[in-house]
Chain A
Amino acid sequence: MKLIQLSKNKILYLLIILVIILIPQNNFSDDSLNVNNISKNLRCLICQGQSVYDSNSDFALSMKIFIQEKIEAGLTENEIYDLLIKKYGQWISYDPGYSKTTFLLWFIPLLFFLFGGAIIYFKIYNSKKNFKK
């Protein structure tokens, strides 16, 4: 009996080692700067429910050419967003960004998460304590 127990443990160790060995190296194939990726995160001002990527309006088509030109000029993704936000306002970017006016937007959901975790923790902890008495 003990022997089987031991071998089971061994198999478990073996598995853990296997998982570690098999863990792939961390190299995300770097997303090359791409008009499609950038235009997905920009809002089309003509057809206001769509992104520049989705839209076929004149504005969106010109915007795609504009982004391509900026990529060729050597701007980074964030520089392109900043440039456009400067011209058209924060509204054009689907990423609301971190600022004084948006910190609550990011913070409220995270607060809820912490709050929920705390409730569950105390629920389990308290029920245990009650029954130990």
Chain B
Amino acid sequence: MISQIGFISLFLGLSFSLLIFLFSLLDVNNNLVRIDKKILKLIFFQFCSVIFAFSFLIFAFLVSDFSNETVYNNSHSTKPLFYKITGVWGNHEGSLLLWLLVLTSFVLFFAIKSKNEPKNFRLHTILFHQIITIGFFIFVLKTSSPFNLIFPVPSEGLGLNPILQDPALGIHPPILYVGYVGTSIVFASALSAMINGYVNNEWAKNLKFWTFLSWIFLTGGILLGSIWAYYELGWGGFWFWDPVENISLMPWLSLTALLHCVVTLEKRNILKNWTIILSLITFMLSITGTFLVRSGILNSVHTFANDPTRGIYILIFLFVLIFISFIIFFLFENKNPEIKKEIFLLSKETSVLINNWFIIYFLTVILVGTIYPIFLDVISSEKISVGPPFYNKLILPFLLPFFLFMSIGPSMQWIKTNFKFKIKYIVYLFLTLAASLITVIFLNEKNILLYILFLALFYLAFKSLENFVIKKSNLAQSFSHLGFAMLMISILVNSFSSTEVIKNLNVGESFNLNNEKIFFKNVTTVKKNNYDSIQGLFEITNNKNETIKLKPEIRIYNQPVIATSEAAIKTTFLKDRFITINLIKDENIFNVRYQNKPFMIWIWISTLIIIFGGVFAIFDKTKKNYI
């Protein structure tokens, strides 16, 4: 019963979409000043029908209605309440419904927020956005309906994969999706602005909001995913260059390029075509990501169930969108002529261009690295793996000039920079030199390139710090850049001075790492509602006889039966101590993995600072233009 209502509700949503599309089309060319009220109402109804369907799915999960196929495949009556709810989007069908929900709420949000924009611009944006929405409605209804029925009704569900039963992963998909889907407004708005000849600094003000909004959520989503991978996957890393991670990084990179670009368009009314291209690319990358993940074309830890028909559907949809944007760009490019302005070498404009140059390069590396193996397999049936060594080789050497540019870029002024020598630069240089030198010595990696990397990063950090502590100017930029510099410093320190021991241990044995003694004291077993746990107790004693206790676990879940290893982490401001245990088949010893990970917490903190910068940008009302 629940499922039928949910399905009908979704179907209604699709009908509303078609109506909105039709009415917007009719409304575009009449002479009225305001948008037809009907359209706004329909958008609201459309949102309601999706949220209605979504609530029904949640309800089906809550009451464990196993006549619903999605519930049966992903839930279990003994599962804790929280994971019954997060289980809704922990699978392909439910997550697509969530995607639809975000999509429809975004268009509603846009319709409300854009009241002061030109009518035709609003209408066209809604129109293009409905094309996307209709595409997704059909996709959900046709290939991945969350409301399929099973008969006879099973008495018990199959349960949710235990590694997904985690609070961080519970909120990771919604946040990530807001980031991904937010770019759909950017996309629709770009196409609409092109048609209406509205690609100017006024439009940039509007676009900026959506760009930053998506960017904030995308950054947050990636952060949560990394934190989850760090403590749940059990080997203490936070980024693996896994294809699915790359897919979230690609739209993030192009959004980052775009938000620098949008600001330039807003202040100087230049880079029109480039802003459009970036806006279009960003959403294309989101959809490409959806295609690569959902079709099962990739070999990754994260892939969803393979179903080629879904893959083909998204593929066709993706290319339809590409062709639409292609044709519109081709036809309406002349409508938004670039205003000829001189760009000076020493200016913020040049800095933004250089920033975009590097970001697009990083983006290409990741894009090519992700899809090249697929192409090669088809063309020559040769199978290769593209992993960390490839990305390290192509990205690391470029970080040095990138950081150098990034350290000077923000100090440039719009139009033209007049450098005046000030005593305080010397203070900065001294501070930077000292900080870098200390870091390099601390790391015991006396390498000149690393030293220069740190010079650039510390300079950027100090300069950004000055901007918001002393000058209190441009809070968004200085916050994000400070966060970025801190993030890179933390990652560098972390990757150069992490230490680890992997050993097979019996209870009562111990080993040493970094002047600390790690003692395997005992093992206890605990029975919980939905899993059995084997808990080890480790005591870590340092020179001063201070002891830390760590309790890593092996959990054997009952529904479905999967063993996972839960890391025990002791976080301090200087370093994380990370320990996992694993069972070894047929033996009574444990495989113990113990790691010292310096500055781990700073990686998360600095990412949060980056996000805060974005939040500032949203509320920052610009006063000054340089047109």
Residues of A within 8 A of B (CB): 8, 11-12, 15, 18-19, 22-29, 36, 40-41, 43, 47-51, 53-54, 56, 58, 61, 89-97, 101-102, 104-106, 108-110, 112-113, 116-117, 120, 123-124, 127-128, 130-131
Binding site for A on B (CB under 8 A): 233-235, 237, 240, 242, 299-303, 340-345, 350, 353-354, 356-357, 360-361, 364-365, 368-369, 372-373, 376, 380, 382-390, 394, 398, 421, 426, 429, 433, 437, 440-441, 444-448, 451, 500, 502, 565, 582, 584-585, 591
- 8 A-B pairs within 8 Å (CB atoms) are namely A15-B426, A24-B451, A26-B446, A28-B447, A47-B301, A54-B233, A105-B390, A127-B341
Complex: how many Å from CA A39 to CA B562? Answer: 25
Q: Are B385 and A94 in contact (CB under 8 A)?
A: yes
Contacts of B385 in A (CB 8 A): 43, 90-94, 96
Q: How far is the CB of A70 from chain B (nearest CB, A)?
A: 17
Chain B neighbourhood of A102, CB < 8 A: 372, 376, 384
A11 to B422 CA separation, bound complex (whole angstroms): 11
Q: Are A113 and B384 in contact (CB under 8 A)?
A: no
Contacts of A120 on B, CB cut-off 8 Å? 350, 353-354, 357
Supposing A36-B502, A94-B386, A96-B384 touch, asked if A124 and B345 sit within 8 A by C-beta, the answer is yes
Contact status A24-B440, CB under 8 Å: yes
Q: Is the CB of B364 within 8 A of A112?
A: yes
Docked CA distance A18–B382 (Å):
53
For B433, list chain A residues within 8 Å (CB): 18-19, 22
Cα(A28)–Cα(B341), bound, Å:
47
Indicate if the CB atoms of A54 and B360 lie closer than 8 Å: no
Indicate which residue in A22, A53, A90, A93 contacts B235 across the interface (CB closer than 8 Å). Answer: A53
Contact assessment for A94 and B389 in the assembled complex, using a CB-CB cutoff below 8 Å: yes
User: Are the CB atoms of A49 and B302 closer together than 8 Å?
Assistant: yes
The interface residues of chain B lying within 8 Å CB-to-CB of A51 are: 240, 387
Q: Is the CB of A109 within 8 A of B235?
A: no
Complexed CA–CA distance, A59 and B350 (Å) = 52
- Other-chain residue from A8, A26, A95, A112 in contact with B421 (beta carbon distance below 8 A): A8
Least CB distance from A6 to B in Å reads 12
Q: Contacts A109-B365, A109-B394; is A124 near B388 (CB within 8 Å)?
A: no
Residues from chain A with a CB closer than 8 A to the CB of B341 are: 127
Nearest CB in chain A to that of B584: its residue = A61
Closest A residue to B300 by beta carbon equals A49
Chain B residues lying within 8 Å of A90, measured Cβ to Cβ, are: 382-385
